[in-house]
Structure 1
Amino acid sequence: MASSIQETKKKKRHQNPKKTKTSETLTLKEVKTLGSQLLSSRAHINNLPTLLSVLSPSSPLKFSLEALISLQSFFVPLVNEIPSKTLADPSKEKDPELVYKAWLRARFDEFVNSLIETAVDSRSEEALKDVALDAIMDFVKLGKDGKFQSAIYHRLLHSIVRNTSSVDSLIDLLASKYFKYLDVRYFTYTSLYKVANDSNSRHMAGISPKEAEKASSDPLSGNSKSQKPKGMHSEASSVNRILKKIKLKFTNAWLSFLRLPLPLDIYKEVLATLHQNVLPYMANPAILCDFLTMSYDIGGVISVMALSGLFVLMTKHGLEYPKFYEKLYALLTPAVFMAKHRALFFQLLDTCLKSSHLPAYLAAAFAKRLSRMALSVTPSGERLIIAIIHNLLRRHPSINFLVNKQDEEADGEASEGGDNSSQDAGIIRSVVQSKKHGIDPFKSEESDPSKSDAMRSSLWEIDTLRHHYCPAVSRFVASLESDLTVRAKTSEVTVADYCSGSYGTLFKQEVERRVKQVPLAFYKATPNTLFWGSEFPGWSFQDPRDNKQEGQDVDKGVSKTLGKDHTGSVKRQRVECV
């Protein structure tokens, strides 16, 4: 009878779900109680799995924080006692203490995985991510003998790379809090190198532009004061040796990353970041010459963005690129004025054309190509073109003949010769002959600047901008002419001041500009028509009501009376109502 009663009670307990507490049915007070019991006595060790189930991105913030703090407080004192490996078959182990430690090791790994999942998951709130990251890094630095626990850190970075959602906030936290430590940077580059070279980790090519930018941070920006923080370092190497090793790891990590099949948006972000955040800190920057030259040869926006890194290698690391100016010349198309990084491109263009050893034909070709582009770009782009051409004419006096002159002046210079060589005189004669026939010998479609015939042309396109509808453009052309006339009192134009111009900036400048004299329209008599007839030969503008007669065919104010002009051609006389 007693046995049947006990069996009945067991069945009732099994059938009643309210008696079993799960992570969904726990209250915050019960979570706190479970944590306190776990920290107070080993007898409550079974609270550990329950608290682990509460720590989840889907759990309420207060529940997760409470479980996280309790679990972290429990595991921190036991880190050195937990075995590094779990038992192959715990059931065959006879020592209860070893079985307990093996079980504890499995729960610790589960806790670390939960922390990483919580930190990476986009559902987690920022406060929870912050606490989870701090807990992870605590276990990273609390290894045996104070050694850096690279295995845990590698798992964190591997999860960041594998994650498909945005992890920008986590990257910001990691960079702002821990990238000041050299050992963190060292193992960051080591882990990224391993991930990039893993055959099963090609998904790293999908890393977001924000992560690519963070990964390219200065590897040596940590001060000497932070090179040996408490509990974060091995003291085996000197500072110089550590810095060299970090540079090498940084270089290897970037090389392995650049070998991946990068998507186009990531590829562009890498090229935009390379010259500032990568090349100055590599062990051997010239190792990227193949990558940059191949990118520069692609053309279009990719070439524009690769120019910065290639320029650094040419000017600071002795890279020789014979077709550099030919490729740069080919990049000058109206589309470049719409590129995202156009400001940096035009500043580099102006710098590349600054050398006094630049041949005259090359300077003339760039000036002429820019001049032709001025006919098809926005007013802000035209001002930028005028600034670059202005600097070219000042730096290279041998191409001053390109400035549009009157035929009589050019004929006089060609006949007198003056200080010009016979070759210059011949060029001036060809320019004059071309102008007389209305032909421009410049070959705008030619990609080779040496074959463009720019030396036989002139900058007539800039002359047309004197009558531009935008006052800022016409004023700038006028200042260009006076500047070239009085060179001693003027200097080069700063191209950077015109790189970020737009319709909005031009409008703002015109609105804020103080006008000394306002043009006014003055009429001796009140006008009764919109246009004067003398301005449009063959047309007459008058009110049809003034001469409307009975029987005259008037259709909506337009007279069908026809008349003849002085050439005998018949034109329709148009009558407009005012």
Structure 2
Amino acid sequence: MAPPGKKRGAAPDTKRTKKRVPDPSGAGKRLRVDPSTTVEQVLRSKKSANLVFDLLELLESEEAELVLGAVAGCKTLFCGLLEEEQLFQGALPGGGEEEDQEEEAMMRSLGPEDKYRLFMRLRYSSCVETLLELLDHENLDVRDSALCCLMDFVGAEGQRPLQDQDGAQHGGFPRRLLSAVVEKLLSSSRDTTALSCSFQRLLLLEDVRYHVMTAVRGNLATVMAASRGAVMPVYQNNAFALMCNVNMPSKESELVNFLVPEQAKHEESKASKLSEQRRAFEKMWLVFLKYQLPSSLYKKVLVRLHDSILPHLLSPSLLLDFLCAAYDVGGAISLLALNGLFVLIHQHNLDFPDFYLKLYNLLEPSVLHARYRARFFHLADLFLSSSHLPAYLVAAFAKRLSRLALVAPPTALLILLPFIYNLIRRHPSCRLLLHKPGSDEPVDDPYLADQNDPAQCRALDSSLWEVKTLQQHHHPGVAKAALLVSSPLRHHEDDLSGVLETTVTELMEAELQQEVSSIPLEFEAARQLLQGGGGVLGRHFCLATATGGPCVV
């Protein structure tokens, strides 16, 4: 037998010295080796088994075209051998050089057929390790092709297990191979987001999804514990990208697609049970959120938390501490944490101490310019919609918002004014803020703007004079909305959904589309620049001479 062309037994990330063809470009090899022909010869005759080395050598070529052909050939060859059960089944010899492994293996008292199966099994292991290395290839097509080939091997191994997979609860699923693939996707040195997107379609399969979630949880626990919880931006972003591609089913009847069909038939298979899928999903996210996150990733997690994560957890209340900590951070992170807190408070009846106190302190000028302004005011409107809130609290919010209105841009004012009016409509006891006796006389405002406690800010002793000031605003829409403060409010609430997403561009386009009647500005209409009004300016100044140069008369 020809000696193997590479080592085995080392971890996929370990650098190994490999025998290559003399021509570094691989052009000479391309003339001698055709992957499809080689695969056909190996499958047709066991005497041609040594040709598999040529195929494995092509996997290490410098040319992407040759590598893609070799990957396709390896998939056809080894999937065929797995289907025909032509690979040795059982544990391989221990670590060390591949030559040592093969020598040790061949010393066993095996017949010719078993020796052939063992020989091809060793070549299959070498192929898997090389494909794992190709997941780091600079060419995206090579990475995608290697990933698809590895997952085909996972499916083929699942139907013809090569070794014991640790118990009947996993139904013979090749977890070791899948865990090696997940480990490469969770790289700590390079971005694997694009590769994770290619992996997304495979996560629609129930057994793949379950075992990927289990593998991600174990990898997170190991890597983050080794780093002592320090922030690892590249690794954590890769983990988040992979985890976001997991789409959980909502019903047991939806668990119908399996990479290994036997998983669905096995009674003890956890992948075929929705409760086990949700438990694996919950454990994965709890481990991920246990450690400190980069600020940018913190925001991405909070954006998805309320609709993509919380509904699929067995115990959503386990994330209360995480959301409380995020709510205390301040700024945009606190605004985004409101979504998750809203779900926990309204759907799971969890109590959050001093919630309205912290919500009141979020009302600062910066919130008017935040990217998530529309989301914040939508949730704030929901939190303040209860008619059982005390009058002093509602008055404090109305007064705080009216004070913010003095420094707000027009797009924010079109949100703030209807918001204030809705608060007063829901709580008639706060109408005295609009029609306080003697409010037209200049007096000192008793409202304490620097007081962080709404119960101590004396909002009920004040009035909404700030809204009346906006009746002189330059934007006609704002001035018109502010006029409502001088007349009785109707009982019907304003719908905020139409103004939450309003932008400056939309306001400008609306103004430009309005038809404006012509207004005479002077007796004699000017027909060109610097003329008109009797031509006085035209007699002394002109813009240019006949030759194009400036002139002054």
TM-score over 0.5 for the pair: yes
TM-score normalised by L of structure 2: 0.78
Question: Which digits, 9 at most, give the CA deviation of each residue in 1:160-205, with x for residues without a partner?
Answer: 1125333233222222x22222212211211111011113476766
- Contact 1:336–1:342 at 8 Å: present in 2 too? yes
Measured after TM superposition, the shift of residue 290 of structure 1 is 1.1
Q: Which amino acid aligns with 2:89?
A: P
- Contact 1:209–1:265 at 8 Å: present in 2 too? no
SS at match of 1:374: helix
The equivalent residue for 1:60 is 64
Aligned pairs (5 A) from 1:262-277: 262-277=293-308
The equivalent residue for 1:399 is 430
Measured after TM superposition, the shift of residue 48 of structure 1 is 2.3
- Contact 1:213–1:273 at 8 Å: present in 2 too? no
The equivalent residue for 1:11 is none
Q: Which amino acid aligns with 2:154?
A: V
The equivalent residue for 1:521 is 520
Q: 1:399 to 1:72 in 2, by over 3 A?
A: same
Tell me, in whole angstroms, the C-alpha distance in 2 between the residues paired with 1:180 and 1:526.
71
The equivalent residue for 1:499 is 500
2:103 to 91, 98, 104: 91
The equivalent residue for 1:121 is 136
Tell me, in whole angstroms, the C-alpha distance in 2 between the residues paired with 1:131 and 1:504.
45
Q: 1:339 to 1:50 in 2, by over 3 A?
A: farther
**2:216 matches 1:192:** yes
The equivalent residue for 1:554 is none
2:185 to 160, 166, 173: 160
- Contact 1:180–1:223 at 8 Å: present in 2 too? no
2:397 to 343, 356, 366: 366
Measured after TM superposition, the shift of residue 440 of structure 1 is 1.3
Measured after TM superposition, the shift of residue 500 of structure 1 is 2.0
Question: Which digits, 9 at most, give the CA deviation of each residue in 1:475-515, with x for residues without a partner?
Answer: 3323x448x63625xx32222322222221211121223x3
Measured after TM superposition, the shift of residue 29 of structure 1 is 6.6
SS at match of 1:351: helix
Tell me, in whole angstroms, the C-alpha distance in 2 between the residues paired with 1:156 and 1:240.
19
Q: Which amino acid aligns with 2:508?
A: F
TM-score normalised by L of structure 1: 0.75
Quote the RMSD (CA, aligned, Å).
3.2
- Contact 2:210–2:271 at 8 Å: present in 1 too? no
Question: Which digits, 9 at most, give the CA deviation of each residue in 1:221-275, with x for residues without a partner?
Answer: 5873553547344221489971111111111111111112221111111111111
What is the number of residues matched between the two proteins?
477
Tell me, in whole angstroms, the C-alpha distance in 1 between the residues paired with 2:471 and 2:137.
57
Measured after TM superposition, the shift of residue 56 of structure 1 is 5.0
Tell me, in whole angstroms, the C-alpha distance in 1 between the residues paired with 2:23 and 2:499.
72
Greater Cα offset, 307-316 or 207-216: 207-216
Tell me, in whole angstroms, the C-alpha distance in 2 between the residues paired with 1:129 and 1:296.
40
Query: Which has more radius of gyration?
Result: 1
Tell me, in whole angstroms, the C-alpha distance in 1 between the residues paired with 2:337 and 2:130.
42
Q: 1:342 to 1:114 in 2, by over 3 A?
A: farther
Tell me, in whole angstroms, the C-alpha distance in 1 between the residues paired with 2:25 and 2:525.
92
1:448 to 442, 445, 453: 453
Q: 1:161 to 1:229 in 2, by over 3 A?
A: closer
**2:237 matches 1:231:** no
Q: Which amino acid aligns with 2:495?
A: T
**2:198 matches 1:182:** no
- Contact 2:310–2:316 at 8 Å: present in 1 too? yes
The equivalent residue for 2:531 is none
- Contact 2:278–2:313 at 8 Å: present in 1 too? yes
In the alignment, structure 1 segments of 5+ residues that lack a partner are: 1-16, 412-431, 528-544, 546-578
Aligned pairs (5 A) from 1:342-381: 342-381=373-412
Tell me, in whole angstroms, the C-alpha distance in 2 between the residues paired with 1:19 and 1:304.
61
Question: Which digits, 9 at most, give the CA deviation of each residue in 1:382-430, with x for residues without a partner?
Answer: 111112112112111111111266xxxx25xxxxxxxxxxxxxxxxxxx
Question: Which digits, 9 at most, give the CA deviation of each residue in 1:447-478, with x for residues without a partner?
Answer: 11111111111111111211111222223323
Tell me, in whole angstroms, the C-alpha distance in 2 between the residues paired with 1:360 and 1:47.
85
Aligned pairs (5 A) from 1:96-115: 101-115=117-131
2:194 to 169, 188, 198: 169
**2:74 matches 1:71:** yes
Aligned pairs (5 A) from 1:241-280: 242-280=273-311
The equivalent residue for 1:219 is 248
- Contact 2:193–2:242 at 8 Å: present in 1 too? no
Q: Which amino acid aligns with 2:125?
A: D
**2:487 matches 1:465:** no
- Contact 1:307–1:345 at 8 Å: present in 2 too? yes
- Contact 2:59–2:70 at 8 Å: present in 1 too? yes
Tell me, in whole angstroms, the C-alpha distance in 2 between the residues paired with 1:227 and 1:454.
59
In the alignment, structure 2 segments of 5+ residues that lack a partner are: 1-19, 95-100, 162-170, 527-536, 538-553
Greater Cα offset, 353-362 or 460-469: 460-469
The equivalent residue for 1:541 is none
Measured after TM superposition, the shift of residue 444 of structure 1 is 1.4
2:234 to 183, 206, 213: 206
Q: Which amino acid aligns with 2:520?
A: A
- Contact 1:166–1:208 at 8 Å: present in 2 too? no
Tell me, in whole angstroms, the C-alpha distance in 1 between the residues paired with 2:24 and 2:247.
50
The equivalent residue for 2:543 is none
The equivalent residue for 2:545 is none
1:148 to 173, 176, 196: 173
Q: 1:331 to 1:197 in 2, by over 3 A?
A: same
Q: Which amino acid aligns with 1:133?
A: L
Q: 1:76 to 1:449 in 2, by over 3 A?
A: same
